[in-house]
């Protein structure tokens, strides 16, 4: 049989293919559609409040009775120092002026208006809602959270971008590891936000496979049967796909963003911290080019919260120069079909080779 069975049996799905959690792009509808294809849908909860997380979990449960993964950011919240306050004021002033220069009227928040949420509150909400799978990125769960989740038999899927991170996850008892190659779209799952391992997916997957024993899910550049098969040859037992779903029927992207995505070429794709304060791969635009390597990038989540209103306004005005359009390094035709059809075509393509 072509498909490895370890993950499928453990997760209760037909195929070990996982729809990537892409906050702001993947929706409850996408999660449910992935489940219809016999895959594992992922519900992106990022760093939402516990109440909002519960709302989205319940909305998704109304759309599917199949298992899906709740996905959260296990980020460290930086301390607010006097230096941070000064930097925030300067970044706010600079970005406001930049927006005004491009005829965008925005009111960005003050530092004291920004509310940040700890992932521990989300963990409690996920347990209360009876979720069966939790995936996470930006680091590792704390020991107490791991114990609480394991007591409820919740399957834990961590994200690594290096062999060192994979070993930390395995040692702490994480059940499965998503190995994120450097070519993957969206945010890097790196534990240290300032030092990202620049390891290509093929090298990384091979290295991690040699050093850990837990099942591995590969993410990065999978967009057809050949790329999926390549990951399988290197030891992946699961396959996470995101970029091929960006323009799908259930995607949260606006039509003008999908249009920009389809016109992108290889040189347009860049790793940047400019929008969120954490490295993410996406399409270069005016905002990224202006802020990249500047002094106006705050640590996550403060940069993300600061630029949120700018992105929201830019979406309403269909201005692609001030929104974050995340995408992986593999340029291909971005299908407008449903998530279910795209995943079924991927599966058929892998089986037919």
Summarize pLDDT for 113-147 with one digit per residue, the tens.
999 999 999 999 999 999 999 999 999 999 999 99
Q: Are residues 228 and 130 in the same domain?
A: yes
90: pLDDT strictly greater than 90: yes
Q: Please indicate, yes or no, if residue 329 is contained in any of the structural domains.
A: no
CA 318 from centroid of its chain's CA atoms: 23
The pLDDT value recorded for residue 333 is 87
User: Residue 22 falls within a domain, yes or no?
Assistant: yes
Give residue 353's pLDDT.
78
What's the confidence (pLDDT) of residue 106?
A: 97
Residues 104, 167 within the same domain: no
In a domain, 318, yes or no: yes
Are residue 100 and residue 67 in the same domain, yes or no? no
The residues that bridge with 73 in the sheet, in sequence order, are 137
Per-residue model confidence as pLDDT tens digits over 264-317: 999 999 999 999 999 999 999 999 999 998 999 999 999 999 999 999 999 999
Flag whether pLDDT at 343 surpasses 90.
Answer: yes
CA angle centred on 350, ends 345 and 353, rounded to 5°: 120
pLDDT at 1 over 80: no
Which range marks the domain in which residue 168 is found?
Answer: 1-77+117-246+335-353
Tokens for 168, please give them.
């930390």
pLDDT at 332: 86
Give the bridge partners for 186, in sequence order.
Answer: 281
pLDDT value of residue 130 = 97
pTM: 0.97
In terms of Cα–Cα distance, which of 19, 18, 28 is closest to 48?
28
């Amino acid at each position: 049989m072509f498909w490895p069975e370890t993950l499928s049996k453990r997760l209760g799905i037909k195929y070990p293919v996982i729809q990537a959690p892409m906050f702001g792009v993947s929706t409850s509808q996408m999660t449910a559609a992935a489940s219809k294809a016999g895959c594992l849908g992922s519900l992106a909860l990022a760093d939402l409040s516990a109440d909002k997380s519960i709302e989205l979990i319940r909305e998704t449960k109304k759309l599917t009775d199949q298992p899906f993964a709740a996905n959260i950011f296990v980020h460290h919240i930086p301390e607010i120092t006097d230096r941070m306050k000064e930097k925030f004021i300067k970044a706010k002033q600079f970005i406001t002026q930049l927006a005004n220069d491009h005829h965008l009227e925005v009111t960005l928040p003050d530092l004291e208006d920004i509310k940040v949420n700890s992932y521990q509150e989300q963990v409690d909400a996920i347990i209360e809602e009876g979720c069966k799978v939790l995936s996470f990125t930006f680091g590792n769960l704390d020991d107490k959270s791991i114990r609480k989740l394991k007591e409820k038999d919740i399957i834990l899927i961590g994200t690594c971008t290096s062999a060192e991170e994979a070993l930390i996850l395995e040692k702490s008892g994480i059940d499965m590891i998503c190995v994120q190659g450097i070519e993957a779209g969206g945010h890097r799952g790196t534990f240290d936000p300032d030092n990202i391992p620049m390891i290509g997916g093929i090298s990384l997957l091979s290295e991690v496979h040699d050093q850990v024993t837990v099942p591995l899910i590969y993410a990065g550049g999978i967009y057809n049967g050949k790329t999926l098969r390549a990951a399988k040859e290197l030891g992946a037992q699961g396959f996470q796909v995101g970029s091929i779903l960006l323009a799908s029927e259930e995607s949260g992207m606006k039509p003008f963003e999908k249009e920009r995505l389809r016109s992108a070429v290889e040189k347009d794709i860049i790793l940047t911290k400019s929008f969120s304060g954490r490295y993410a791969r996406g399409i270069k635009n005016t905002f990224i080019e202006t802020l990249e390597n500047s002094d106006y990038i705050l640590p996550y989540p403060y940069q993300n919260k600061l630029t949120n209103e700018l992105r929201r306004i830019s979406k309403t005005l269909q201005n692609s120069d001030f929104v974050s359009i995340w995408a992986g390094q593999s340029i291909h035709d971005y299908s407008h079909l449903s998530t279910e059809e795209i995943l079924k075509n991927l599966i058929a393509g892998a089986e037919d080779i």
